[in-house]
Amino acid sequence: MKTFLAGATVLTLVLLTHSTPGHAHHGWSWTTGGNIELIGLIKKTSLGMPHGIVYVDAEGEVWTVEVGQPWRNERAGLVPGDLSEGVEVRVIGEPAADPSEKRLKAERLYIDGREYDLYPGRD
């Protein structure tokens, strides 16, 4: 019985810890709620699930830019190679609430003057 209670207690603690909003990975809760513009050169990309990551060098500071899931990027019109190293990109999105964290959730991207709207209707 003691083993069962100990196991149940541990399971409950794990579930509570991982279901709180502060530990949520997805969503916008970690952002400021306001948009900024970031312009720079793509240094590296990691595209895939749960969402893509693009590292952008903007005036000597490397920012981590979260783009959409593969289906969202495709729906916006992005094709393989658009988010390649060396491409200049302009990003409109919400920065991390912690200003020391150079992280941005992209809403729209501009490459060679073309707009890629990842989250239509979101401003």
Phi-psi region of 55 (alpha: psi -120 to 50; beta: other; left: phi over 0): beta
Determine the Cα–Cα distance for residues 25 and 106; give it in Å rounded to an integer.
15
Q: Go through the domains of the chain in sequence order and give each one's CATH number.
A: 31-117 (2.40.50.1010)
Q: Between these two residues, 3 and 41, which has the higher pLDDT value?
A: 41
> What's the whole-number mean pLDDT along residues 48-57?
92
Average pLDDT, the chain: 83
Enter the tokens of residue 27: 């969503």
The pLDDT of residue 51:
87
Residues 74-87: tens digit of each pLDDT: 999 999 899 999 99
**pLDDT classification of 1: cutoffs 50, 70, 90:** low
The three-state (H, E, C) secondary structure of 12-27, written as one string: HHHHHHHCCHHHCCCC
Q: Which residues pair with 65 in a beta bridge?
A: 54, 104
Whether 45 shows a pLDDT value over 50: the answer reads yes
Contact 63, 53 (CB under 8 A): no
